[in-house]
């Protein structure tokens, strides 16, 4: 395989990895914020119930 093609393939793979990492980070942040909302809501509900 010539160097130019190898370089192109490497760049493509790197961009795919970056994209996957960004998606993973977004998904993790979304699930963390959902669980945080749930925690706050339950504390608020307890406060209202007392």
The conformation of residue 1, written as its DSSP 8-state character, comes to -
Residue 31 confidence (pLDDT): 85
Query: Residue 3 and residue 13: Cα distance in Å, rounded?
Result: 15
Tell me the whole-structure pTM to 2 decimals: 0.56
Of all helices (H) and strands (E), which one includes residue 45? helix 3-49
Which pLDDT belongs to residue 38? 67
Distance CA 30, CA 47 (A): 26
Residue-wise pLDDT tens for the chain (50 aa)?
699 999 999 999 999 999 999 999 999 988 887 776 666 667 677 778 77
Q: Where are the domains of the chain?
A: 1-50
* CA atoms of 46 and 50, how far apart (whole Å): 6
Residue 22 confidence (pLDDT): 95
pLDDT score of 25? 94
């Amino acid at each position: 395989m010539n160097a130019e093609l190898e370089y192109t393939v490497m760049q493509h793979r790197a961009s795919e990895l970056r994209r996957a990492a960004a998606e993973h980070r977004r998904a993790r942040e979304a699930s963390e914020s959902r669980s945080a909302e749930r925690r706050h809501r339950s504390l608020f509900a307890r406060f209202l119930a007392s």
